[in-house]
Amino acid sequence: MKGRFLRKVLILFLAVSLISPSLWGCGRKITLDDAKYTMGKLFDAVRDSDYQGVARLMHVSTSTTASKVETYLSEVEEKVGGYFSDGLTNIRYTSYEELPYNGVPGGSKFRIYGTMNVGLSVNVPFIISLIMDGDGYGINVLDIGGVAL
């Protein structure tokens, strides 16, 4: 009877040992709701000229600073011919895709496409890519009007 109990404990231990690593590698996937929420926070920060706020939304791997964001947004304004200070309106996402993420096991990548009006410039396209990995969650690609951060 004691041998049977030890055998069951050993089998249970082996099963848990084999299954646990695969469970640890599984992370939560980024959803459309996650992306839309982050997109809203991003465009609120852009609208408010909160460059530090935008930098905080970026993934740590991008090493984005507030001064990089400020320079980037100036480049976007120059290219699209509109000014964020004149308003950011009609923000719409047009499509999205869940992407394979090869950075780490269990990582997640999500890309959202859309358009917006920047001041008087209408239908300015944007692409936002988000990743979730061992370093955290954030935007790793921000492209507005063909200008990438």
Q: Would the pTM of this model clear 0.85, i.e. be above it?
A: no
> Quick one: pLDDT at residue 1?
60
Please give the mean pLDDT across all residues of the chain: 86
Burial 73-92 (b: 16+ CB within 10 A, else e): beebbeebebbbeeebeebe
> Quick one: pLDDT at residue 3?
63
Look at residue 7 and tell me whether its pLDDT is greater than 50: yes
pLDDT in tens, 107-148: 899 999 999 999 999 999 999 999 999 889 999 999 999 999
